[in-house]
Amino acid sequence: MVKVAPSVLSADFAELKKDLDSIKNCGADWIHYDVMDGHFVPNISFGYSILNDISQVTDLYLDVHLMIENPMKYVDEFIKAHASSITAHIEAFSNEQDIRAFIQHVHHHGVNVGLSIKPATPVDTLIPYLDDLDLVLVMSVEPGFGGQKFQEQAISKIEQLDQLRQERSYLIEVDGGINATTGMLCRQAGADVLVAGSYVFQAENRKEAIESLK
Ligand SMILES: O=C(CO)[C@H](O)[C@H](O)COP(=O)(O)O
């Protein structure tokens, strides 16, 4: 069954513990944690200290999505803050050696590792690394903000990633503009994890929203 990963970017930060408990009770599988630095994307969110606090009050899988320049500079802080997986953007690296070093480093610490692609980045850029990844994150909006419209080209990317893998060697995750309709299209294309921010957190009934994605 598909996993649902509500993005805490859309949570009420003054009521974070309450919101985390609410999405767990409503059937969320993972927490998606969007880290934005104001450079790689034009928005600033939160860092590793808040992740560490969250890790003390939930047992949900902590799916960290780094939308930052120089991911290697901060990765140890997110490992120490109990990330379950750490995904960085392939566009944030300047060469293949740095990408391989990042993957090896995260794995060395027993944490799952992923690479993400922006809407304009082709799946082919990921091919050299796929055998070493636990997760591939397809952005279906331009990273930076919640509440944007789903970009359809994500579907063919998910299909391509599904064809490239054997025995679900890596999970395919999709993020941005996910609701019951777009979520269904992504599932049919082969997605395993649906990130949903506004659709879950702004729903009148979060349980129904999460169930509609599953
Ligand atoms: O990574 C993100 C933005 O960069 C968010 O996770 C994503 O946009 C989810 O929000 P929504 O479901 O409201 O589109």
Q: Is 26 in the pocket of ligand 1 (CB under 6 A)?
A: no
Q: Residues annotated in the binding site for substrate, as ranges?
A: 7, 65, 144-147, 175-177, 197-198
Domain span including residue 117: 3-213
175 carries an active-site annotation: yes
Which H or E element spans position 157? helix 153-164
Give ipTM to 2 decimals.
0.96
Q: In terms of C-beta density within 10 A (0-12 exposed, 13-18 middle, 19 or more buried), how is residue 176 classed?
A: buried
Read off the pTM.
0.97
Q: Residues annotated in the binding site, as ranges?
A: 7, 32, 34, 65, 144-147, 175-177, 197-198
- pLDDT of amino acid 168: 72
- pLDDT of amino acid 43: 97
Number of domains within the chain: 1
Instruction: Give 10-residue mean pLDDT values along the chain (214 residues).
Output: 97 96 98 98 98 98 98 98 98 98 98 98 97 98 97 98 90 98 98 98 98 98
**Token reading at 91:** 């566009």
Q: Is 197 in the pocket of ligand 1 (CB under 6 A)?
A: yes
Q: How many CB atoms sit inside 10 A of residue 73's CB?
A: 9
Please give the C-alpha separations between residue 111 and each of 60, 102, 107, 155, in angstroms, as whole numbers: 15, 12, 5, 28
- Residue 110 sits in a domain of what CATH number? 3.20.20.70
- pLDDT of amino acid 85: 98
Q: Is 153 within 8 Å of 186 (Cβ atoms)?
A: no
